């Protein structure tokens, strides 16, 4: 419908330009019309996409100036939000429902990572995004080891909405071999541990290089964790709706 509206407007504009400007040089009109007609399918599709995006965001049930639900801007990023299930190291469901929220800049960067991976036949699967401070406190109570869980006093980049835990999947949505599962607490998950099969190292390097290209920086102890540290967002308590 948007596309039709766009072309209708385009036609109306051309008709108006022809009938309403008799004193104007015909040559200029023809050139303008030709110029306009070059706003062809590709640009019209682009306009349509932007409008759809705006419509989606305007109907959002959260503050879009502070947050982005990643699947609203990139629906094909796969989610396996482990803390929305009991399949996590706490064996407790911590999120009421599986939605991935990030600060808008971080979400945009992650979208770019995903789109670049897509050109290579891959995509992203996400395990965790923004994590409310209340959840961080629960994690710390179970695992007070700063190598793996940030002390809530200092806060986690996840609670600032600028961190994401993710891996690469193939076209069928199957995760690549990264050597360990998400939240594996041990040396096998360390990025600087190069004592791993070549395939694992290559997969980890592809993930890290693509993430870091768009400003999502990795850490030493968890190959899946990336964040944009300098955005200056505060620790947050926001809890999303279902
Ligand atoms: Zn993380």
Q: How much distance in Å is there from the Cα of 118 to the middle of ligand 1?
A: 23
**What rounded mean pLDDT belongs to the chain?**
86
The answer on pLDDT for 202 being more than 70 is yes
Output the CA torsion 242→164→177→197 (10° steps): -160
The reported pLDDT for the residue numbered 6 is 47
Written as one string, the DSSP assignment of 57-92 is: HHT-SS-TTT-EEHHHH-TTSEE--GGGSS-STT-S
Q: How much distance in Å is there from the Cα of 208 to the middle of ligand 1?
A: 14
The reported pLDDT for the residue numbered 42 is 76
Residue 31 or residue 61, greater confidence: 61
Segment (H or E) for 166: strand 163-169
Q: How much distance in Å is there from the Cα of 136 to the middle of ligand 1?
A: 11
The reported pLDDT for the residue numbered 4 is 47
What tokens does 12 get? 């109306």
**pLDDT tier, 55 (very low <50, low <70, confident <90, very high otherwise):** low
Q: What is the pLDDT of residues 204-232, one digit of tens each?
A: 999 999 999 999 999 999 999 999 998 99
Specify the CATH architecture of the domain 63-231: 2-Layer Sandwich (3.30)
Domain spans of the chain? 2-43, 63-231
Q: How much distance in Å is there from the Cα of 16 to the middle of ligand 1?
A: 57
Q: How much distance in Å is there from the Cα of 128 to the middle of ligand 1?
A: 7
The answer on pLDDT for 240 being more than 80 is yes
> In this structure, which residues have their CB less than 5 angstroms from ion ligand 1?
165, 225
Q: How much distance in Å is there from the Cα of 103 to the middle of ligand 1?
A: 15
Mean pLDDT on 26-40: 53
**pLDDT tier, 57 (very low <50, low <70, confident <90, very high otherwise):** low
Angle at 144 between CA 211 and CA 161, to 5 degrees: 35
């Amino acid at each position: 419908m948007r596309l039709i509206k766009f072309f209708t407007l385009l036609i109306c504009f051309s008709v108006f330009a022809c009938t309403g400007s008799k004193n104007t040089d015909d040559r200029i009109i023809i050139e303008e019309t030709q110029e306009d007609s070059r706003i062809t399918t590709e640009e019209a599709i682009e306009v349509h996409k932007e409008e759809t995006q705006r419509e989606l965001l305007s109907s959002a049930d959260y503050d879009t100036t502070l947050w982005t639900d990643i699947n609203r801007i990139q629906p094909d990023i796969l989610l396996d939000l482990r803390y929305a299930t009991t399949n996590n190291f706490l064996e407790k469901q911590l999120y009421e429902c599986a939605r991935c929220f990030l600060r808008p800049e971080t979400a945009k960067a992650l979208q770019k990572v995903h789109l670049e991976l897509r050109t290579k036949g891959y995509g992203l699967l996400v395990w965790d995004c923004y994590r409310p401070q209340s959840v961080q406190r629960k994690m710390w109570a179970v695992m007070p080891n700063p190598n793996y869980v940030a002390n809530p006093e200092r806060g986690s980049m996840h609670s600032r909405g600028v961190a994401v835990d993710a891996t690469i999947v193939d076209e069928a949505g199957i995760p690549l071999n990264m050597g360990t599962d998400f939240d594996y607490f041990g040396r096998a998950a360390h990025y600087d541990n190069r004592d791993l099969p070549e395939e694992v190292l290559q997969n980890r390097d592809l993930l890290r290089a693509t993430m870091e290209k768009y400003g999502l920086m990795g850490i030493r102890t968890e190959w899946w964790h990336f964040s944009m540290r300098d955005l200056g967002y505060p620790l947050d308590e926001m809890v999303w709706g279902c």
